[in-house]
Structure 1
Amino acid sequence: MVNLTARDVEATMRNQHRVRNVSLVAHVDHGKSTLTDSMLAAAGLMALEDAGKVRATDTRDDEAERGMSIKATAVTLGYDFRAMRTGTATSDRYVVNLVDCPGHVDFSPEVTAALRLTDGALVVVDCVEGVRVQTQTVLRQALGERIKPVLVVNKLDRFFLELEVHVLSNSPCSVLSNSPCSVPSNWLRQTGILLTITYTCVALQLDDGEVAYQALRRVVEDANAVVAMYSDNELGNCHMSPENGTVAFAAGLHGWAFTLSSFAKLHSTDSSWSGVDEAEMRGRFWGENFFDAETNKWTTCRTGSATCERGFVGFCYNPLRNVIKACMNDKTSLWPLLNKFGVEIKAEVKDLSGKQLLRRVMQAWLPAGEVLLDMLVLHLPSSATAQRYRVDNIYDGPLDDPYANAIRNCDADGPLMIYIAKVVPAGDRMGRMYAFGRVFSGKVASGNKVRVISNKYLPGGGGKEDVFVKTVQRTGMLVGKTFQAVDGVPCGNTVALAGLDAVIVKTATLTDERAAVAAGTIKPLKFSVAPILRKSVACRNPADLPKLVKGLERLAKADPLIECSLEETGEHIVAGAGELHLEVCLDGLKRMAGVDILIGAPVVPYRETVVASSSRAVVTKSPNKHNRLYMDARPLEEELLQAIEDGRVGPRDEVTSRAKLLREEFGWDAGDAKKLWCFGPATTGPNLLVNTCKGVYYTGEIRESVVVAFQAASKGGVLAGEPLRGIRFHLCDAVLHSDCIHRGSGQIIPTARRAIHAAQLAASPRLMEPIYLVEIRVPKSAVSEVYNLLKTRRTKVLERQDLGFGTVVLKAFLPVSESSQFVQQLRLETSGRAFPELAFHGWRLINSDPLEDGSKAAMVMGEARERKGLGPVPKFEELGATF
């Protein structure tokens, strides 16, 4: 094994064609971290014997305790492509910037942040569990970021060591040898195969591997179905296939993996392959290709002969099975097999037995680290290649300005453009943090002064308080929890920067201190979940409040999604994606603050909307009685609402192009489309303020005041002080005093806010509640218990799918307000046999009038107003509004 030094890695970074930025993504517990160990071992960063055991990228204590990744962990490693084969250092070096991402849905914002910084995704799928909900989510996110995926079908050791397959008499396997063609792709779902987990090392009893092949093919096809659904034309062909080398098969826990090329090389000396190149050999190892050993001929369907086997089974699966069986049961037959395959093992390995022997033999024969790193180098794009088609997807400025051109060309001599996707605690007693991101153009070095543009900055909106000039104290690479300092990092690489954490909250764009041309920013991240579960926190000792506030500031910086806010009642609120996310973040808050913290009960946020248009415009008068504003409200079109939340329509769009889109795609009036004043709340939310006044003077002068009132009103509606969602407000008319002194902001802002609240009341206001999409895997014998529990929590069951293994998948909508202790109670009711997954799905209307006493919505509204210290809902007269 050839180890590259930090200086070697730093030198290789300068060649962007030899840089690979890769995220490891998967569903929870599908084996990402164990596979990462193997790649670290192949790069010389850990001992091969420890690969799969240490989980080096689980750097936090709570990750080790829970046995799951919580934070994305970056590792920069050097890889000598030829040295793995020759044993001597060569000039064929690559830098691989890996980011091992968590798989639990509550921590998917970590995946979103990692994908922005990388160009390729190593998607890991458990060969038995298959493509799960979170697998689909991360694939969709990756393709949305124009990230090219490759696939690893993991945990193949489960086929050989854990699963016993009993083929029922009516299974297609019993007649497989007489079948003239292959088994259909959905065969495993339709048959009566019973998979029974055992805890003894029993070799898998299959019909010569055919069932194993069908299971693997199903996983590959399911993954490609997701890719086909969300593929991007600019990204090109992302179809993953074993024949092309973009699918690997692995057992991360035992440190071995292979692609079809591995066995193509193994069998290349066979006389039956004379004159056949490696690509053609790979093609015959997958799909409808069968080899008859007796006639030494290939066919595209079964001949019915006992010696006719599928290519994958005969040339890949059977050699694996024979070696594993020999390791576990009969060592005497193992050594001839290893000699046949050209595998050399150390003398001390021969004294081992069982799984220990299996592990060392398979690592020597099919080392996972080499196979996976080879696949990343050969089949994922370099930085220089990827940035050409990613620039318009990530850059928010003009696509012909110097910054866009430098990103497109991955120009190390161009203007500096860095995106910081997250802030990482340094792990020292001083509480320092590193800004972790990607250099898209230019080069950053220690001592450079950079302009830090925060994620709150809006182009053209002033916002000088959101732009800072700071000095980079140190530049470096992250290797797990270790910061490795380097002189400088050129474009195309990930980077860790010290000295900027004081002004960066979550994300930021860094540019040159003195740029000749105003720089655009990197587009904000789009998360697949939302911070919809909240808890209040307080100090047990009031004197510790400053420490709590400092801890909340650090927590808000360190987590991409978490929101920390101070309510008008004085409560400190922490909002997260789910119960597990909040639990982890609050545990971290206790450590960061170093004080005893009291945690309140979960608080569920709601949204306010309207379901009808105002019958007439409402009018409110200014305090001096010299100005009148006329407002009406109506529901926003569902398609437009979705487009705003997806980022297709927003305040950063060019006015003319946005007006054209609103007119042509959403049927807006041409005049209204041009007079869209703002989005809200926070200038980006899914509510619109439109000026539809005609022939009214001075509206341009009051615009800023009306917008300020709209932002405040949309942040807290009239019903329960909750944010508005999906409402379009029109400023229909205005009567304004001719003297600007009498129509200043002090007169217009409160008037406009009362008008907006009154218009909301006049348009059939309603409340919306957040809902989870729940997927529950449960044995058929426990389905009734699951249904009984769902009935008690206002749940709507959407789908029931029978997998054919005695297992059922239920999908349902679960209100977030009903989700407290749901997972624990479900496991209790089913004796641990049900496995639920909860993911935020969206907002659902509460079908009752909140202004009607005794209704469900009225009770929700009353609880929210009482919690916030609000009085009764104001009436029209109290708002000073009339029709």
Structure 2
Amino acid sequence: MSVFHANRLANLQANTDCIRNLCILAHVDHGKTTLSDALLSTNGIISSKNAGKIRYLDSREDEQERGITMESSGISLYFKVLRRRSPDNTSGAPSGPPSMEEQEYLVNLIDSPGHVDFSSEVSTASRLCDGALVLVDVVEGVCTQTITVLKQAWTEHVRPILVLNKIDRLITELQMTPHEAYLHLCQILEQVNAVMATFLTGEILEEDARKLEEAKLKFLSDSASSQDPSADFEWTLKEIDDAHIYFSPELGNVLFSSAIHGWAFGIQHFAQLYASKLKVKESLLRSTLWGDYYLDPKTKRIIPHKALKGRNLKPMFVQFVLDNIWTVYQVIVMNPNPTKIEKIVQTLSLKVLPRDLRSKDSQAVVTSVMTQWLPLAPTVFLAAIDKLPSPKQAQPYRLPRLLYPYQDPPLPPKNAAETAIYNCNASEEAPAVVYVSKMFAVPVALLPENQRVQLTAEELRARGRSERERRLQSRTTDQSTPGDPSALALPIPSSSEAVSGDVPLEESPAPAEEGHALIGFCRLYSGILCEGQQLYVLSPKFNPRLPARLQPQHISQVRMGKLYLLMGRDLHPVNRVYAGNVFGMAGLGGHVLKSATLSTTLDCPSLSSMLSHSAPIVRAALEPVRLAEMDQLVQGLKLLNRADPCVEVYIQETGEHVLAAAGELHLERCLTDLRERFARIEIHVSPPIVPFRETVVFQLASSGANVSETTTPVPKPTLTNSTYVGVEGGVPPVATVKSAVVTVATSNQVFEVVLSCRPLPETVRSFLRLHQDTIRQYLITQKSDVEIGELRDNDELTATLGDPLTTDRMDDSNFTLLSLGEFLNTLKRLFKEDEKKSKTVWGEVVDRLWAFGPRRVGPNLLVNNMAHYQPRPWHYQHSSKVPSSQCLTPFRPASPSPDESENLGVGDPTKVSRELPSSPTTLHDGITERMAKLQVDTSADGGGATTEGLPKRELHLRDLEENIVTGFQLATLNGPLCAEPVVGLCYIVEDCRLVLPDTNSAGTQSNHSKGNTSYLLQTTLPGQVISAVREACRQSFLTWSPRLMLAMYRCEIQATAEVLGKVYAVLAKRRGRVISEEMKDGTSLFVIQAQLPVVESFGFADDIRKRTSGAASPQLVFSGFDYLDEDPYWVPTTEEELEDLGEKADRENLAKKYVDGVRKRKGMFVEQKLVESAEKQRTLKK
């Protein structure tokens, strides 16, 4: 095999048909990096003896120490194939022996992590590649991360090859017979194919539901136009051929390997070997070597299982494949026999050195023999070349999905840029389109331009000649002028010459600045790139349909820096890059945040942001040890935020810099990068911060003490009960719980609100949680183009108030954007189902939606239950600019007349609900000027002095509508228990009332703050309304029995029976809950599925490894939030409770413990008894 040469690889980039971009995906410790080392050894990068030991692509120190991959890294490899040239005999002359044709290939290989904390690195790897090697440990089988990477490959339309790795463990550890191993391999293959079938089924059902809805609408419209009520609607599920998605050895997309021993094979290898011996066609052997096929020893024919007739024959895969491999391991590893080893080597005609055969290390001997017989690298390379597509073949079916992820079937190209991308056009005329999947940091001193340049032999000879000429010239000058004293002086070198004659200027290393440079991990989809070329940087939010002037924050220009060929921990500079290649690019550090699209034209869609299956759930507050180094910490956080695709950095309202990571291990890696690479300062780190959620259950609080424990109620107004003006019998459109109704007024007694709340059904809460993007879509689409252009995103540090995880939808791949009609109809259906199931009356709650929260997209509802007022539709709340048709003129009726009441819909709430918009593009026609007037209680009909510079006008509820919504948003963002987000509540506004002072009364004329509405609106009233609504929401929340929701991990542990009890002990200690326990077929391993609170998970992996002596290792995946069924304010009240626990309730209240911990961290008041005078205790002398 040819030794690696970077120039040859650079030349191969121009031929897109000879390029393969593939990544290696697997669960942690399933052999990805060992397989990568074996492939690298073929290019002479590392020795074949050290494959699996060096872990070349794990370039970080902590990766080498822990033995796991933490960052995806790429390398370009060279592979040459000799193929038979197709015969070209048109003259009819007898053809000679077939000639051989040499074909060269460039394989861009990306190794990705397997730990769940680094799933975002898997996303970056799969986005850049067209194919994948999916490794599965045949002992552990299909694990959680295996399913995750298969889902990632399916979503990204990456064509996979399944590699069943570590087959040697079946022989040496489990000591299976060949037939048992065959059955075990069949089961693993069935499990993987079952996972692939679930992906296809989900996609088919989702697409079918969408088409069914469209067909129903079309049928209804057609039947309405034809006026044929007898027409029947019919729908059948479309049949789809699914044979191409499954893994099958006869198709060539399954390999069997042992990466640690350096061997692998496919069915085709043994088919070629036995075709001539058995005198059977090779194509027939390919289709029968795997499966229930047997060789009849009498007839020498291949027979199926039904033709066995009771004979005890071995399957062909066992007889011709596994038996031979088992024999090699038996005579080398299990029962060493040097004589049989030599016989095997001679029979197979292997070139193994005698010293290797005489080695005392049986592992080294079996590696030498198996590497010569079934070499791993050629097998994997040939499978990648034959079964995986080139960029020109892959981009036509991959790119439509990346550009339009929610369009099915894919859309045809809309412009020249999309056409070039789909065709992988590598011409000079094609627009250059680059996708940057992530940024990675490289020490500046290690960049090629800052390293010593290695001179060629010709350059060394030229340097020697110039040096000899210079010395000869100097000697001649000395002899020509002996009397000249200046001739004795040494020659002063010019600024362009080297000071020392031994080291020329070109070879001396350039002074490298300290720190790290950010290099883009890129793929070129069309065109040609050259160094110094000018490109547009398009963020993932760039919309090509809008003019560039309206979205300047999503567009920037950059002049490209150096282009590099990725060689693992090394970079090789190149002058040009052609379409279809993976490469590195410098100069993007200040322009790209995590990912971006680069293009030479603005008429180019931005590639969609990557789908990630992990979310930053573990957080920590950071501060420098020396406060003077705060600027360095901020700059380091900016670099980390750009370099890590999963990390989130934001500033809390307290001014703390918070770092959010996907898990404990990910957080450790980020802190290491900050201390050693980016900030390079000492950092104080707070204990890990875990998010909680606050909610209530269907149980009213037994005492009102809960309210006073956490809040100070605003003085209540004289309004004693919520009344519904014009509604017969006082029956509201939305049913409320009377005991949960609270009334709060502002401090100046001008505004009062009557509000109640109730828990949402679990189905509604889950639906809102999964479809927050649908809500966000219609909030955003209501903005005008000018408003969109005015938005600004902070690309450096995300400054947010509190927790960015105000939503808990973690899996971006399991939702679809619904139309507004579908969304509202589904919401209504879920409420109707809950009414039938729980006998709870919800009424017209969907028609009276006012807002969602927190952040206007959360799983909480604000509902208007006032009959005299109709607010703007919820999807118009986000826009500050209201159409002129909704601007209201002053109007102040004492009470609505009967005619006006009829027009307002008072007395018939259905009239109001019928006027709600059916689509987001239609303005609410029912919102008239008179509907927007507030019921004002005042005895005066006018008057009031005009304040300086402020025009006199009347006060309307429309003026305070946004303040009411803001109060609701703040209340749901910071709950009353410990200021964590609230989920699953419906807040119902029963009534709002303004009590304006009489401007004609004595003493009010001089006080302009009370006599002028404009002055009130511009000073204190909006803030007081926000506070009052927020306080009302908090008090109504505490009328129910509050509960905390804990962030939960789904934990999977594989352990043997000997350590099973210790695993359960560790889980019980950390309040874990075991869900299932199953034994893997054919092994002695138990698979334990459990739920573990994130707050109890820190140090869990280390603890379980210590207790089991490394025999068990957990895999933690965030699964959402779960109820902690314990009231944080519970105290003993009944006689039995008082008798068992006493008045002080000595039993630990876990919910109270968590609440107090969060409140202490946030600087809030905590009920805690402190000893004021310790020296006065009674027990001091004891």
Structure 1 pair 305–20 and aligned structure 2 pair: CA distance change class (3 A): same
- Give the Cα–Cα distance (whole angstroms) in 2 for the partners of residues 84 and 331 of structure 1: 39
Of the three residues 611, 626, 647, the one matched with 1:526 is 611
Q: Contact (CA 8 Å) 1:2, 1:83: kept in 2 or not?
A: no
Q: Residue 376 of structure 2 aligns with which residue?
A: 368
Asked if 1:420 corresponds to 2:420, the answer is no
Q: Residue 587 of structure 2 aligns with which residue?
A: 499
Structure 1 pair 643–98 and aligned structure 2 pair: CA distance change class (3 A): farther
Structure 1 pair 635–448 and aligned structure 2 pair: CA distance change class (3 A): farther
Of the three residues 189, 192, 215, the one matched with 1:220 is 189
Displacement after TM superposition at 1:777 (Å): 2.1
Letter of the 1:567 counterpart: Q
- Give the Cα–Cα distance (whole angstroms) in 2 for the partners of residues 791 and 118 of structure 1: 43
Q: Contact (CA 8 Å) 2:973, 2:979: kept in 1 or not?
A: yes
Displacement after TM superposition at 1:336 (Å): 4.7
Of the three residues 671, 685, 692, the one matched with 1:599 is 685
Q: Residue 661 of structure 1 aligns with which residue?
A: 822
- Give the Cα–Cα distance (whole angstroms) in 2 for the partners of residues 766 and 358 of structure 1: 60
Letter of the 2:617 counterpart: I
Letter of the 1:410 counterpart: C
Q: Residue 567 of structure 2 aligns with which residue?
A: 479
**Aligned ranges 1:642-721 → 2 under 5 Å:** 645=770, 649=774, 651-652=776-777, 658-667=819-828, 690=874, 695=927, 715-721=973-979
- Give the Cα–Cα distance (whole angstroms) in 2 for the partners of residues 139 and 717 of structure 1: 39
Q: Contact (CA 8 Å) 1:422, 1:558: kept in 2 or not?
A: yes
Partner deviation per Cα, 1:595-652 (whole Å, 9 max, x = no partner): 2223322221112446679759989889999999998876487477467548873634
Structure 1 pair 561–223 and aligned structure 2 pair: CA distance change class (3 A): same
Of the three residues 244, 250, 258, the one matched with 2:251 is 244
- Give the Cα–Cα distance (whole angstroms) in 2 for the partners of residues 289 and 50 of structure 1: 40
TM-score, normalization: structure 2?
0.62
Q: Contact (CA 8 Å) 1:292, 1:309: kept in 2 or not?
A: no
Asked if 1:755 corresponds to 2:1026, the answer is no
Structure 1 range deviating more: 241-250 or 613-622: 613-622
Displacement after TM superposition at 1:60 (Å): 1.0
**Aligned ranges 1:445-844 → 2 under 5 Å:** 445-454=530-539, 464-512=552-600, 514-515=601-602, 517=603, 519-592=604-677, 593-609=679-695, 615=737, 635=760, 638=763, 641=766, 645=770, 649=774, 651-652=776-777, 658-667=819-828, 690=874, 695=927, 715-725=973-983, 751=1025, 755=1029, 758-759=1032-1033, 762=1036, 764=1040, 766-803=1043-1080, 805-844=1083-1122
SS in 1 for 2:247: coil
Structure 1 pair 83–385 and aligned structure 2 pair: CA distance change class (3 A): closer
Q: How many residues align?
A: 824
Q: Contact (CA 8 Å) 1:20, 1:119: kept in 2 or not?
A: yes
Structure 1 range deviating more: 254-263 or 382-391: 382-391
Q: Residue 193 of structure 1 aligns with which residue?
A: none
Displacement after TM superposition at 1:74 (Å): 1.4
**Aligned ranges 1:164-183 → 2 under 5 Å:** 164-165=175-176
Q: Residue 158 of structure 1 aligns with which residue?
A: 169
Letter of the 1:425 counterpart: A
Asked if 1:277 corresponds to 2:277, the answer is no
Return the structure number with greater strand share.
1
SS in 2 for 1:114: helix
Structure 1 gaps of 5+ residues are: 166-205, 874-883
Structure 1 pair 829–44 and aligned structure 2 pair: CA distance change class (3 A): closer
Structure 1 pair 357–833 and aligned structure 2 pair: CA distance change class (3 A): closer
Letter of the 1:139 counterpart: L
Of the three residues 129, 138, 145, the one matched with 1:127 is 138
Structure 1 range deviating more: 744-753 or 502-511: 744-753
Structure 1 pair 686–371 and aligned structure 2 pair: CA distance change class (3 A): farther
Letter of the 2:276 counterpart: T
SS in 1 for 2:1065: helix
SS in 1 for 2:583: strand
- Give the Cα–Cα distance (whole angstroms) in 1 for the partners of residues 585 and 197 of structure 2: 38
Displacement after TM superposition at 1:685 (Å): 5.9
Q: Contact (CA 8 Å) 2:529, 2:576: kept in 1 or not?
A: yes
Q: Contact (CA 8 Å) 2:543, 2:605: kept in 1 or not?
A: no
Q: Residue 128 of structure 2 aligns with which residue?
A: 117
Q: Residue 184 of structure 1 aligns with which residue?
A: none
Structure 1 pair 807–652 and aligned structure 2 pair: CA distance change class (3 A): same
**Aligned ranges 1:355-434 → 2 under 5 Å:** 355-396=363-404, 399=411, 401-402=414-415, 403-412=417-426, 414-428=430-444, 429-434=514-519
Structure 1 range deviating more: 230-239 or 677-686: 677-686
Structure 1 pair 640–93 and aligned structure 2 pair: CA distance change class (3 A): farther
Q: Contact (CA 8 Å) 1:614, 1:762: kept in 2 or not?
A: no
SS in 1 for 2:314: strand
SS in 1 for 2:198: helix
SS in 2 for 1:129: coil
Q: Residue 869 of structure 1 aligns with which residue?
A: 1163
**Aligned ranges 1:59-78 → 2 under 5 Å:** 59-78=59-78
- Give the Cα–Cα distance (whole angstroms) in 2 for the partners of residues 350 and 93 of structure 1: 34
- Give the Cα–Cα distance (whole angstroms) in 1 for the partners of residues 554 and 670 of structure 2: 26
Q: Residue 58 of structure 1 aligns with which residue?
A: 58
Displacement after TM superposition at 1:114 (Å): 1.7
Identity %: 31
Structure 1 pair 477–723 and aligned structure 2 pair: CA distance change class (3 A): farther
- Give the Cα–Cα distance (whole angstroms) in 1 for the partners of residues 16 and 990 of structure 2: 56
Displacement after TM superposition at 1:826 (Å): 2.7
Partner deviation per Cα, 1:507-557 (whole Å, 9 max, x = no partner): 223333x52x3x443223332222222223332222332222222222222
SS in 2 for 1:721: coil
Displacement after TM superposition at 1:3 (Å): 4.8
Q: Contact (CA 8 Å) 1:476, 1:488: kept in 2 or not?
A: no
Letter of the 1:661 counterpart: E
SS in 2 for 1:222: helix
Structure 1 pair 727–636 and aligned structure 2 pair: CA distance change class (3 A): farther
Structure 1 pair 242–643 and aligned structure 2 pair: CA distance change class (3 A): farther
Aligned alpha-carbon RMSD (Å): 4.2
- Give the Cα–Cα distance (whole angstroms) in 1 for the partners of residues 593 and 854 of structure 2: 20
- Give the Cα–Cα distance (whole angstroms) in 1 for the partners of residues 1017 and 1165 of structure 2: 30
Asked if 1:141 corresponds to 2:152, the answer is yes
- Give the Cα–Cα distance (whole angstroms) in 2 for the partners of residues 597 and 96 of structure 1: 42
Partner deviation per Cα, 1:58-96 (whole Å, 9 max, x = no partner): 11111111111111111222333338999x996633332
TM-score, normalization: structure 1?
0.82
Letter of the 1:799 counterpart: S
Partner deviation per Cα, 1:238-276 (whole Å, 9 max, x = no partner): 201111111101111121110111111111221x233x1
Q: Residue 913 of structure 2 aligns with which residue?
A: none
Structure 1 pair 757–481 and aligned structure 2 pair: CA distance change class (3 A): farther
Structure 2 gaps of 5+ residues are: 86-96, 205-239, 445-513, 699-734, 783-816, 832-843, 863-873, 876-915, 917-923, 933-955, 997-1011, 1132-1144, 1168-1182
